[in-house]
Each structure stands twice: as C-alpha cells, then as structure tokens.
Structure 1
Amino acid sequence: MNKSKGLQAIEEPLASLPHTIRNHILERLRSLTQYEPVIGIMGKTGTGKSSLCNALF
C-alpha cells in the first residue's frame, strides 16, 4: 500500500504517542484519505438516468 505524503508527514509527530492510540489515529486518517464516494441515481423509466451518466462519465 502506498502511503500518501500527508500521512507520512503526520506519522513522525504521532510517534511519541502510545502504540494503540497512534495506530487508531492513523487508521482513521487512512479511512478518510482513501474514501471513494458511491453515487446512486434513481428515477422512473425514461427520465434520462443513463443519459446523465453518459454525459458525466
């Protein structure tokens, strides 16, 4: 797993914390930095859902 530069930069200051606390903070930060949103589109038949997706992606 590649570490982001921001995450690497914060690991050094966190080194003075107890191991369990440091790991908890780093795990929470990883979950925030690796967040991938999921978008759902709902609607009736023929309202242009596929057209919208095709236009965006």
Structure 2
Amino acid sequence: MVLRRHDVDRIVVGHTIFPEVTSLHGGKVVAVNVDNKKNRKHHRTRAMLIEGAIIRFVM
C-alpha cells in the first residue's frame, strides 16, 4: 500500500536494528543501519548506491 501510494518500487528505512543493510519483502523494503563506527570495525556494509533497478552495497 505504501509503495503504491508513493508510486515507487521500493522503500529504504533507516535507524534499524539489523547489523547489516537488509533487504526484506522481496527487495521492496531495504533496512539500513547507521552505526558506521561499529560497522567499520566489523567490516560491514556502510552505504548503499541505487542506480535504476540496481542496488549496490558498499563497505
């Protein structure tokens, strides 16, 4: 319903409790974590690039 309402294919939500960037609901919801210091220490994903239909995760 939210995707249709805003005429988008996916939504990105922040301030999540997942240790990594996480794709949910078949890629329609992407949950990102903002604890960069901890992510850097554990070599986890820290950024996401979206180019059209392609999503890339950056460490």
With the shorter chain as reference, the TM-score category is under 0.3
TM-score, with structure 1 as normaliser: 0.20
In terms of Rg, which structure is larger? 1
TM-score, with structure 2 as normaliser: 0.19
